[in-house]
Structure 1
Amino acid sequence: MKNEEYDLYREAGALAARALRYGAERVREGAGLLEMVERVEGMVIEEGGALAFPLNVSFNEDAAHDTAAPGDERVFARGDLVKVDLGVHFDGYIADTAMTVDLGDHASLVAASRNALDAAIATVRPGITAGEIGAAIQREIEALGYKPVANLTGHGLGRYDLHAGSNIPNIATTGGPVLEEGMVVAIEPFATTGSGRVTERARAEIFRQTSTKPARLPSAKRILEVARSSRGLPFARRWVHVDKVDIGLASLVRSQTLQSYPVLHDVAGSFVSQAEHTLIVTEDGCTVTTR
């Protein structure tokens, strides 16, 4: 990895860490979701960074891919378990980080994902397999009596690429990709009181351009302008200011110009926690960029 690339990854990580803490402090009983999301995203832009994806804020049994809708009236309530997941980049070099804010009595569940992340980071070095990292994650989560979410994984990061190369499982697997010096990966354990698997809700607020087909609808054309400015990274429905945005989005998803990211959830009544850091694999271990 070139020195300038390393520096940009570190810069993105430092901003992501500050903005994540800023957002977590604003997850308070009675506070509005939309205001919190807009303030965190605004902080990233004001400090010279860019968003690698819309700020994800997922409640309770929802694990990932939720964000505020236009005009969203949801508020944080007593008992909520809130995952805050932020991606920042400088010139395409990404930092991805997350934490869980407990507005109830879920301290042990929060600790399960956080302990699993610490254990996973401690294993990272050149030559370690993704399956060995998954084993460390699973062991820590199960030690506290919870289940890892088996069908969510950590992932490699590349320039303008949120899912480059290796997936990092949250359960033990045999073998798998081998980490090498210079790799950039996001490790994100999810612990749950539910089934240990997530499924898709019907609702999606996040989208990503996957092809360059022409569009006829005025709303679809405006959506593609926003998508192109995101350089292949995900964007939010609320970032598109145009009439009939839902019609335009639906047409672009049907034509496979856009991919949607439905909210992912475990069974009703369960709770899911998440912790995540981005790290660079070094000669003798790793550098965590998002602490």
Structure 2
Amino acid sequence: MDHAEDATPADEAPEDTSLANPDVTTKYRTVGDIVNAALESVVSKCVEGADVLELCRLGDSFIEDKTAGLYNAKKGGKKKVEKGLAFPTCISVNEVSGHFSPLPGDSYTLQKGDLAKVDMGGHIDGYICVAAHTVVVGPAEGDESNGEGSAVTGRKADVLRAAWTAAEAALRKVKVGNKNTDVTAVINKAASEFQCSPMQGNLSHQMKRHVIDGNQVIIAKELPEEKVDEFEFGMNEVYGIDIVMSTGEGKPKESEHKTTIYKRAVETNYGLKTQLARSFLAEVNRRFPTLPFNIRSVEDERAMRVGVSECMRHELLHPYPVLCEKQGEYVAQFKFTLLLLPGGTKKITGLALGQDSQIQSEFTVQDEDLKKILATSANPKKAKKKGRSEQEATNGKAEQEQEA
């Protein structure tokens, strides 16, 4: 069941699912606010002693609860608006670069000084917003032995600065008329300024209704064996910009942690043999037809265990394995959603750096081109329309110049 194409009666005009439709923009902004609030809530609870599984559940339930109360009025016999999670909450620590959202019994307790990456996404009516933020885990509430003012130094500081600088530069480069290769270039410049590496294979995707990983992509690090097609950013497009930096070589490997996040491979169908596997796939098709989900959310655990195995054998699911760098390295991530609107590129998810004054890298941006990019405004304002008297004065000046 693929929601990417909605059937439309012959006598009705097809629904405009682009940002040219104000209702669509409103849905993006609404779910963007919810995702930001969920991210802020989880990040604030990333303290020493916190359980990763409980924090992931908190992020998921926050998005599900806040979206559940919206768009419930049926108008003109229209079907119920789907909403909820677009990407399950993940909290990946230190060298783990992504997709850690554990099952009960496989969790991790946060330690003071851990570099925790919180990643999540939500949607309303298939319009998706994603966000991620990296935080240095502080002391538990009431522990003042090493308070919030503690400096973040060394390679942790370097990778945080590299990722944040790359994110700020990418924000300014994703605009109508620029190319994806422009963004790749500034990501790599930012990495080299702090002696870090972009994660190989990491992609930022265009997003469309019910599609979290569209075909237009920005690659973080282009290699001879890993290239993507060049394209130009267009008006009314939506992108999830994902910046992942490493203090190591930036070559992620699959970790020993169990894969818990999957996405239905909508282009593949197969008649599964066992009843348990068929039951699992039926639930996936009903509840998670196009977007990633955590197998922790599946109601029948026995069916889930059998079903995942059979579905993977027949390529009915895309896995999101838990990836990691070499032990002892650090990985930082910042992710945000951009709307390319007539008034300019608008960032609608993503938090402020937060621990900015504490992050003390020995490196600073030296590249003059990168400095110029970072000095430009990330929020270009529309030019004001001239009033009548101002317009007349301008016209009069032009006439005088012509006479001269």
Instruction: Give TM-score, length-normalised by structure 2.
Output: 0.68
Residues 220, 271 of structure 1: CA spacing in aligned structure 2 closer, same or farther, 3 A cutoff? same
> Is 1:278 the counterpart of 2:337 in the alignment?
yes
Q: Which letter maps to 1:212?
A: N
- The offset of 1:175, in angstroms, is 7.6
2:240 to 175, 183, 186: 186
- The offset of 1:185, in angstroms, is 0.4
Q: What's the counterpart of residue 102 of structure 2? A: 68
Partner SS state of residue 188, structure 1: strand
Partner SS state of residue 191, structure 2: helix
Q: Which letter maps to 1:7?
A: T
Alpha-carbon distance in structure 2 between the residues aligned to 1:219 and 1:70: 21
> Is 1:246 the counterpart of 2:305 in the alignment?
yes
Assess if the C-alpha contact under 8 Å between 2:201 and 2:221 holds in 1.
no
What pairs up with 1:106-185 in 2 under 5 angstroms?
106-171=156-221, 176-185=230-239
After alignment, is 124-133 or 192-201 more displaced? 192-201
Alpha-carbon distance in structure 1 between the residues aligned to 2:346 and 2:219: 20
Alpha-carbon distance in structure 1 between the residues aligned to 2:200 and 2:89: 23
Alpha-carbon distance in structure 2 between the residues aligned to 1:33 and 1:201: 17
Aligned sequence identity (%): 27
Residues 120, 243 of structure 1: CA spacing in aligned structure 2 closer, same or farther, 3 A cutoff? closer
Q: What's the counterpart of residue 22 of structure 2? A: 3
Aligned length: 291
What pairs up with 1:202-217 in 2 under 5 angstroms?
202=256, 203-210=258-265, 211-217=268-274
Task: Say which structure, 1 or 2, has more relative contact order (CA 8 Å, 6+ apart).
Answer: 1
Partner SS state of residue 145, structure 1: coil
Alpha-carbon distance in structure 1 between the residues aligned to 2:99 and 2:87: 10
- The offset of 1:108, in angstroms, is 3.1
* Residue-by-residue CA offset, 1:183-231 (whole Å, 9 max, x unaligned): 1001111111111121223531111111332334343233223322112
Partner SS state of residue 134, structure 1: helix
Q: Which letter maps to 2:242?
A: E
Partner SS state of residue 195, structure 1: coil
Residues 175, 71 of structure 1: CA spacing in aligned structure 2 closer, same or farther, 3 A cutoff? closer
Partner SS state of residue 275, structure 1: strand
- The offset of 1:133, in angstroms, is 0.7
What pairs up with 1:195-274 in 2 under 5 angstroms?
195-202=249-256, 203-210=258-265, 211-228=268-285, 229-244=287-302, 245-274=304-333
- The offset of 1:153, in angstroms, is 1.5
Q: Which letter maps to 1:252?
A: C
Assess if the C-alpha contact under 8 Å between 2:253 and 2:323 holds in 1.
yes
Residues 239, 222 of structure 1: CA spacing in aligned structure 2 closer, same or farther, 3 A cutoff? farther
Partner SS state of residue 63, structure 1: strand
Partner SS state of residue 23, structure 2: helix
* Residue-by-residue CA offset, 1:66-115 (whole Å, 9 max, x unaligned): 21213444211123211111111001000011011113842332222112
After alignment, is 241-250 or 115-124 more displaced? 241-250
- Indicate the RMSD between aligned Cα atoms, in angstroms: 1.9
- The offset of 1:124, in angstroms, is 2.1
Assess if the C-alpha contact under 8 Å between 2:202 and 2:221 holds in 1.
no
Q: Which letter maps to 1:217?
A: T
Partner SS state of residue 89, structure 2: strand
2:56 to 30, 33, 37: 37
Residues 175, 41 of structure 1: CA spacing in aligned structure 2 closer, same or farther, 3 A cutoff? closer
Point out where structure 1 has 5 or more consecutive residues left out of the alignment: none
Point out where structure 2 has 5 or more consecutive residues left out of the alignment: 1-18, 68-82, 139-151, 351-404
Alpha-carbon distance in structure 2 between the residues aligned to 1:52 and 1:239: 13
Assess if the C-alpha contact under 8 Å between 2:244 and 2:331 holds in 1.
yes
Alpha-carbon distance in structure 1 between the residues aligned to 2:206 and 2:103: 28
Alpha-carbon distance in structure 2 between the residues aligned to 1:107 and 1:168: 25
Residues 37, 214 of structure 1: CA spacing in aligned structure 2 closer, same or farther, 3 A cutoff? same
Alpha-carbon distance in structure 2 between the residues aligned to 1:162 and 1:123: 21
Q: Which letter maps to 1:57?
A: I
Partner SS state of residue 20, structure 1: helix
After alignment, is 53-62 or 18-27 more displaced? 53-62
Assess if the C-alpha contact under 8 Å between 1:129 and 1:175 holds in 2.
no
Alpha-carbon distance in structure 1 between the residues aligned to 2:220 and 2:300: 40
Assess if the C-alpha contact under 8 Å between 1:277 and 1:289 holds in 2.
yes
The higher radius of gyration belongs to: 2
2:135 to 81, 96, 101: 101
Q: Which letter maps to 1:205?
A: T
